[in-house]
Amino acid sequence: MIESTYRWKDGFPKIGIRPTIDGRRRGVRESLEVQTMNLAKAVARLLSEQLRYPNGEPVECVIADTCIGGVAEAAAAAKKFNTAEVGLTITVTPCWCYGTETMDTDPSLPKAVWGFNGTGRPGAVYLAAVLSAHAQKGLPAFGIYGEDVQDEGDDRIPADVQEKLLRFARSGLAVACMKDQAYLSMGSVSMGIAGSIVNDQFFQEFLGMRNEYIDMSEFTRRMEEGIYDPEEYEKAFAWVKENCKEGSDNNPEHLQTSRERKDWEWEMVVKMTLITRDLMIGNPRLAELGYGEEAQGHHAIVSGFHGQRQWTDHAPNGDFMETILNSSFDWNGKRSPYMVATENDSLNGIGMLFGYLLTNTAQIFADVRTYWSSDSVERVTGHKLEGRAANGILHLINSGSATLDGTGEQMKDGKPAMKPFWEISDEEVENMLKATQWRPASVEYFRGGGFSTDYLTRGEMPMTMARLNLVKGLGPVLQIAEGYSVELPELVHETLDNRTDPTWPTTWFVPNLTDNGAFTSVYDVMDNWGANHGVISYGHIGADLITLASILRIPVSMHNVPKEKVFRPRAWGLFGTEQAENADFRACANFGPLYK
């Protein structure tokens, strides 16, 4: 019930389609009605067929009741969209229209305009005029203009136009899904990590989100008072005993705990998992048990767990809890992953949320731990790196809480992958569990014990690493590095892994190099990374992240996305076209946060 009928009970934002038209009657408008509305229907059909919400259902589009030829029809469409909970709009037209009379003027809605490239009617002229109006009024919009001329009356959507429509829609939906949701801070600042200093102004003004807070003593209270579903706990604990294999204890013998203590820790971490989920989204079962307030949850689409050290010095760590919630399945079966940031790093939590909403897939949270040059690897192991790894590798590893999807045990076209939960097979779930050991936590780090997630990510997966940073006086900036996971010979991996902590999950990552700036070498990527953490998404999603960031007015400080895939509002070009990165910073500063 939690996943299927309760978690997404509020529904999702819809995409508003605005067919605009030349308002002149007595022949002009009448000749364009059918074509214009057919373009709108074609766009709606494309988006609903290609895009899915986090629960797997097709994205819904709402088309204006009539073509929009003037301000009265624009207002009627806006009223309909508001009632239908539209979160972004796409304006389509094959012809000239009256720009300021037909444009979407809602300042908080992401917006795009497709101006049909045809010679019969000047759709491209309207596109240029209305984008100029958007820039002049401070309402940036994305311009979509097909490269090839189409015949009049053609309602097909060219491939290049489809790519931009889908990129904008994915990014705009991500923005709309975040709005009015919450980040739940479970605890406070972990070990002086600045990312876990939750900046409510950033969440409010840039993301349209609110912040919720609890003290970690709430976990103790709920455990001691039994504020969780006891029946689900028994089900979860039985599933864990059957499916989660405990690995060897890597602690020195004098620090190893008893079997009795380990069994108690398993009970604790399963309860922590249930409680965290209930804190985030609520649980109607708690109301049945007499806990009406707790049943409400905190309306949190993402959360972070403080853990170290105030919790982990005396209680089991959050690695199991974070791993299972961040994965695409649990004892109730396959379901949407929850976004839970380690060490309450709220900025990495938002990076996880970005990647998740763009892809509907689980996200890997990791330390960007070590750059290994080819020479260093050869010195330590005697092995010379080859192939993708020839120029060095990045060791992505953290204290045991990376999604099980990150094992790479899902398959797509015969290759390792990470997929939306509705595409994952039962066999793939079984393989992910088999590829994972739950190692007793390193007691020198975690005095309260617990279990760390131990696996090795399979190689040759396209991946995108990202990090959101806050800079005083500048605000948020985003970093993006597309690349691939790589596999090392077993002995080489073990030698390098043992120099850190072999009980933690490892992803060996190589960014794509461009011979420019921060991507001149693998070392330069590491040397320019803005924090100790990063988010790793399956696939090369850098272009979508750039589009998403521009909607939110967050500049991108480094990326290796091919130039032809970068898609930002048309007004960004008015800040300069030769140095797009600099123009991005100026445009974001000029227009300011989306919700300010």
393, β-bridge pairs: 372
Q: Does the annotation flag 205 for ligand binding?
A: no
- Say if residue 498 is exposed, middle or buried (CB neighbours under 10 Å; 0-12, 13-18, 19+): exposed
In one letter, which amino acid is 95? C
Share of the chain above pLDDT 70, in %: 99
Per residue in 190-219, pLDDT (tens digit) is 999 999 999 999 999 999 999 999 999 999
pLDDT band at 411 (very low <50, low <70, confident <90, very high): very high
Q: What are 288-297's contacts with CB under 8 Å, separation 24+?
A: 289/227, 289/229, 291/227, 294/222, 294/227
- Taking the C-alpha atoms of residue 593 and residue 580, their distance in angstroms, rounded to an integer, is 19
3-state secondary structure of 134: helix
Residue 343 is assigned to a ligand binding site: yes
CB neighbour list of residue 122: distance below 8 Å, 6 or more residues apart: 95, 96
What's residue 401's pLDDT? 84
Supply the pLDDT for residue 5. 78
- The reported pTM is 0.96
- Give the H/E segment covering residue 62: strand 61-63
**In this structure, what DSSP letter does residue 203 have?**
I
Is the pLDDT score of 62 beyond 70? yes
Question: Tell me, what's the pLDDT at 493?
Answer: 96
Position with higher pLDDT, 148 vs 135: 135
Half-sphere exposure of 586 (CA within 13 A, CB side): 12
55: tokens are 């629960």
Query: What is the distance between the alpha carbons of residues 309 and 189, in angstroms, rounded to a whole number?
Result: 10
Res. 337 pLDDT band, cuts 50 70 90? very high
Is residue 142 within 8 A of residue 567, CB to CB? The reply is: yes
Using alpha carbons only, give the angle 259, 265, 267 rounded to the nearest 5 degrees.
110
Q: What is the pLDDT of residue 126?
A: 92
| Other beta carbons within 10 Å of 11 | 11
User: 281: closest CA among 306, 298, 302, 263?
Assistant: 298
Sequential DSSP letters for 460-481: S-EEEEEEEEEETTTEEEEEEE
- The first and second tokens of residue 7, run together, are 């978690």
Give the mean model confidence (pLDDT) for residues 272-285: 97
Question: How sure is the predictor about 321, in pLDDT bands with cuts at 50, 70 and 90?
Answer: very high
Q: What is the per-residue pLDDT for 399?
A: 82
Flag whether pLDDT at 1 surpasses 80: no
What is the enclosing helix (H) or strand (E) of 550?
A: helix 542-552
Calculate the dihedral angle through the C-alpha atoms of 359, 364, 367, 369, rounding to the nearest 10 degrees: -90
Bridge partners of residue 35, in order along the sequence = none
Q: Give the DSSP per-residue string, 205-239.
A: III--EEEEE-THHHHHHHHHT-S-HHHHHHHHHH
Exposed/middle/buried for 192, CB within 10 Å: 0-12, 13-18, 19+? Answer: exposed
Homologous superfamily (CATH) of 182-591 is L-fucose/L-arabinose isomerase, C-terminal (3.20.14.10)
Is the domain defined by 3-178 classed in CATH 3.40.50.2300?
no
Residues 6+ apart with CB under 8 A from 540: 462, 463, 464, 482, 561
pLDDT at 119: 62
| Model pLDDT, residue 140 | 97
**Token digits of residue 93:** 């037209």
Determine the residue type at 132. Answer: S
**8 Å CB contact between 185 and 303:** yes
How is residue 548 written in tokens?
């998403």
* Residues classed as catalytic: 343, 367
Percent of the chain with pLDDT over 90: 92
Q: What is the pLDDT of residue 506?
A: 97
**How much is the pLDDT for 343?**
95
**pLDDT class for 170, splitting at 50, 70, 90?**
very high
Cis before residue 309, ω within 30 degrees of 0? yes
- Average pLDDT for the chain: 95
Pairing of strands 415-417, 437-440: unpaired
Domain ranges for the chain: 3-178, 182-591
pLDDT of 504 reads 94
Mean pLDDT, residues 20-45 taken together: 93
pLDDT exceeds 90 at position 596: no
Our measurement of the distance from residue 150's CA atom to the centroid of its chain's CA atoms, rounded to an integer in Å, reads 36
Is residue 355 very low, low, confident or very high in pLDDT (cuts 50, 70, 90)? very high
User: What burial class does residue 545 get, using C-beta atoms within 10 Å of its C-beta: 0-12 exposed, 13-18 middle, 19+ buried?
Assistant: buried
Residue 33 pLDDT: 93
The sign of the dihedral angle between the CA atoms of 171, 592, 530, 573 is positive
CA-wise closest residue to 558 among 533, 591, 526, 590? 526
82-121 pLDDT, tens digit per residue, is: 999 999 999 999 988 999 999 999 999 999 999 877 766 7
Q: Is the pLDDT of residue 2 over 80?
A: no
pLDDT digits (tens, 9 = 90+) for 438-492: 999 999 999 999 999 999 999 999 999 999 999 999 999 999 999 999 999 999 9
Residue pLDDT, tens place only, 297-316:
999 999 999 999 999 999 99
The whole-angstrom separation of Cα 7 and Cα 421 is: 15
Q: What is the DSSP letter of 161?
A: H
CA distances from 348 to 95, 96, 364, 468, 469 (A): 44, 45, 10, 6, 9
- pLDDT of residue 325 exceeding 80, the answer is yes
Mean pLDDT, range 234-245, rounded to an integer? 97
User: What's the length of the chain?
Assistant: 596
